[in-house]
Structure 1
C-alpha cells in the first residue's frame, strides 16, 4: 500500500495498554498485513491520536517501521511509563540509646570485668525526651503512557508502644520521661521508665526476697531459695544459684547460673549469662550465653545463641521460636541433647488471651456507644446539662481509646498468626560439631543424630528436616 498524506492507520493498527497503563503495545489488526508503509511522523500522530503521549520508545518505532510484521512487536512495548516510587515508612527516632549492652559492666580484653562501670545506664530525668516520631517521607508519582498520573503507595505511619512512666506530647509525636529513672524496653517493645533499686552485696537472708516495680541491680550473688522480681530489668554482678529471677524486661548475669535444677530465670525480653548449668531459663526473645549451656532446660521466644570461644550445648532440652546457634552440640559420650526450633507455645497462649481481650473490648464499646446515642438524643432535644456534657466528652474519649486498643490487638493477632504459620526462619546452626545422641526437632519433624557431623545448618524443607553446610 502506497504512503499518502491522509493514511488512516486505524484500519491497520491498534494500541493495547497494560492494566495500569504503564506500558503500550502496537498490534497489527491483521497478522499477515504486508506492504504497510507509513512515515515516522504518521506513526507518531497515530500514537498521539490514541492518547499515547509519554515514554514513547523511538528506537522501537523505527524498528517497527522497518518490519511491521515481526512477531516481536506482540511483546515489545512501544511506550513505557514512569513507575511511581513508594513512600518511605515513618520510624521512631530515639534520643537516647536503647541497646541493652549499654547497661552492663565493661568487659576488658583479658576477660576481666570492670564492676565500677556497671552504672553506665540509660538514666533519664523527668521531662527528658526519649523518642520522636519521624513521619513517612512522600513517594513520587508515576506517569502512565497516556500522561495520566500513577499514584504512589504512601509509607506507613510509625507508632509508639507506650509503657509505664512515659508521656506523649499533645500532638502524639514525641515521648518523654514522666519520672527520673532508667529507660527499659519490655516484651512487645513497650518503652518504660523505671526507677532503680540496688543491692550492695548478695541476695541472702540479710536482704530477703526482692519485689520491685523498677529495675534491680544486685552487686553480688543471688543464693539458692531466694527470689528477685522486677517490672524492669535485673542485673546481677555475680552468679545465680537455684534462685527465682523474674523480670518484665531483660536479665543479665555477669557470672553464670548454677541452678542445681531448682528455681528458674524468666525474662520478658532477653536473658544474658556467662554460662548456664542445671538451670531453667525462659526468655520472651533471646537467650545469649558466652560459654556453655549444660544439662539445662532453655526456652526462648526467638533465638538461643551460644557461640563464644567454647560455645557448648550438652544435655537438657533447648527450645527456640526461631533459631539455635552453637559451636558444639552434645559430646563424644552421646549425652542426650535435644534442640527444638519453631516452638512458640507462649504465642499460642497469647493469641487466646488477645481474642478474649478483643471480645471484652467490643462489649465495652457497645455499652459506650449506647450511652453516647442516648446523650446525643438529649443534646438534639436541648436537654443536656453541664454534667451530662462532661460525661458525653469523657465517653467520646473512651470510645477513641477502645478503637485504638482494638487496632493494636488486631495487629498483634495478625503478627502471631503469621509467625505460627511460618517455619522458614526455624534453623539450627552448628558452627563446629554435633555429636551422636543429639536430637533436632523442627515443628512436627524430628531428626536423630547417630554419628558426628561438622559445620551444618538444619532447617525444614518440603515435609522433612534438611541439612546444608554452615558457611
Structure 2
C-alpha cells in the first residue's frame, strides 16, 4: 500500500531523529507493519526505527499524537581528554577519582606527602582517546569524537623527559599537582602549632604544619599548604591546594584561598575560595564558599546549613538545610573570580604581544649594529642581555597566562551534569540559583537533582 498520501516523514537537521506526520485522514485503509517499514525506507530512514511507534501507526493511526518519533540515531560519543597521571599518589591528584567513584580523600593522610627525587619520573601524560562511533537515521556512520588534547609543559623544578610524554624532577622535594602541571617544591615544616615564635609564614614551596593555625596568622605558599590540625580566623593562600585535616572555624573572619583545591574535615563560619574544587568531609555551616568547578560535601555527615555556597559547575551534598528551615543558598554559575582570571590572562597575552614586538625590534637593531660595526659597546652589550632576559620572562608570563586561560575556559564550558545533587535530604528554605534563575524549596525533598532546562529550574528524583 502506498502511504505517501497519508503520512509525511521529517528528519531533524542533525539526522538524529525522524518524526512522522499525518497529512490526510484514513478511512479504514488496510496496511501492515511491512508497509510502514517500506514507507520509512523510501524516505531514507533505515536505522534506529522504533518498533513500538511503528505498531501504533499500524494499529490506530487516527488516535496517535503527532508528530510521532519513529526513529532515533545513535550519537557518537566523545573520548576521554588527555590528562596528567602522577606516578606517586598525592591527595590533590585524587580529585577526579573521588568525583567519579564517590570515594573520599582520607584527610588523615594529607601530611603524608609523596617525595620526589632528582631525575625521577613524577608524571606521565595519558593521551586523549576517540569515542564510540555513531549512526544517523539514514544509516550513515559517524566517527567518534576525539577528546581534548593539551601540550605537556614542565612545572617548577621539573623538565620534559626524553620521551616528550613524561615529566622528570630536577631537584629533591615534595610533589604538588595543580591541574595540568606537576611541581616539585622545597618544604617548610612546623612541628606543632603556629605561635608568636614561628610567626606568619611566606614560602616559595610547600608548607606543612603539624599542628593548628590560630586566628590572625598568615600562611602564604607558592605550592601546597598542609595543616594537620585546625585553622581558625587566619589567612591562607596557596598557589596549589590547601589541606586541613581537622577543619576550618573562622567566625566569619580570615580567608582560605587556593588556586586549585581545598580539602577540609569541616568548615564552620568560613570564607573559602578554590579555583577548582572544594571537598569537605563532615559539614559546612554558615559559610561563604566558592569553587571554580565543584563543591562536594557528600561523604561522612555531608550536610550544609546556612550561608552561601557556589560552584562553577556542580554541587553535591548529602543534606541541604535543616529541620529549623535555616535559609541555605546554593549557587551554580560562572564565578566572578574566574571571569577576572580570564580577563587578566587575556590582558597579559594582549600586552605581551605588543611588548614582544617592541623587544624583538630592539633586538634586531642591536643584531644589525653588531654585524655592521663590531664589537658592541659595553652599554649595548648590557642592553642586549637585558632584552634577552626580558624576552625570557615575557615568554614565561605569556605561557602561564595561556595555561590559565585554557583551564578557565575548560571550567566555563557547560557540562551535562551541571546542577545541584542532594543525595539524602533537602529541607524547606533551601534556595538554588542557576545563572539568573532561582528555585526555592517549599517542601522537604529526598534525593533530588536540581538543574536548569529550557529556561526553568527543574527538580527530579536522583538515584
> In which range does the TM-score fall when normalised by the shorter chain?
0.5 to 0.7
Give, in whole Å, the separation in 2 of the partners of 1:119 and 1:466: 42
**Alpha-carbon displacement from aligned partner over 1:427-468 (angstroms, at most 9, x marks no partner):** 100111111111100011011112111111001111111111
1:328 aligns with 2:319: yes
Larger radius of gyration: 1
- Distance (whole Å) between structure 2 residues aligned to residue 386 and residue 87 of structure 1: 57
Q: Does the Cα contact within 8 Å between 1:279 and 1:296 map onto a contact in 2?
A: yes
- Asked whether the equivalents of residues 133 and 158 of structure 1 are also in contact (C-alpha less than 8 Å), the reply is no
Aligned pairs for 1:174-213 (under 5 A) are 174-186=166-178, 188-213=179-204
Distance 1:433 1:92, change over 3 A: closer
- Cα distance change, pair 222–344 in 1 and its aligned pair in 2 (3 A): same
Does residue 299 of the first structure (1) align with residue 290 of the second (2)? Answer: yes
Name stretches of at least 5 consecutive residues in structure 1 with no aligned partner: 1-69, 78-85, 104-110, 139-151
Q: What are the superposed Cα offsets for residues 273-325 of structure 1, whole Å, 9 maximum, x if unpaired? A: 11111111111111111111111111111111111232110011101111111
Residues 226 and 419 (structure 1), Cα distance of their counterparts in 2 relative to 1, 3 Å cut: closer
CA–CA distance in structure 1, aligned partners of residues 43 and 340 of structure 2 = 56
> Which residue matches 1:454?
446
Which ranges in structure 2 are unaligned for 5 or more consecutive residues? 1-38, 47-77, 96-103, 131-143
Give the corresponding residue for 2:232.
Answer: 241
Task: For 1:446 and 1:328, locate their aligned partners in 2 and report how far apart those are by CA, in whole Å.
Answer: 19
User: In 1, distance between residues paired with 2:322 and 2:129?
Assistant: 54
What's the CA shift string for 1:96-148, capped at 9, x where partnerless? Answer: 33443789xxxxxxx9x997x7653221223323235578899xxxxxxxxxx
TM-score normalised by structure 1 residue count = 0.67
Secondary structure of the residue that 2:339 maps to in structure 1? helix
Structure 1 SS opposite 2:306:
strand
TM-score if structure 2 supplies the norm length?
0.68
Q: Who is 2:435 aligned against?
A: 443
Assess if the C-alpha contact under 8 Å between 2:111 and 2:228 holds in 1: no
Distance 1:438 1:202, change over 3 A: same
Aligned: 1:428 with 2:417: no
CA distance in 2, matches of 1:73, 1:392: 75
**CA shift at 1:76, angstroms?**
11
Distance 1:134 1:401, change over 3 A: farther
Q: CA RMSD of the aligned region, Å?
A: 4.3
Cα deviation, residue 205, structure 1: 2.1
SS of 1:183's equivalent in the other structure is strand
| Equivalent position SS for 2:231 | coil
Residue 107 (structure 1) aligns with: none
CA distance in 1, matches of 2:395, 2:191: 46
Query: Per-residue deviation at 1:269?
Result: 1.3
Q: How many residues align?
A: 371
Map of 1:383 onto structure 2: 372
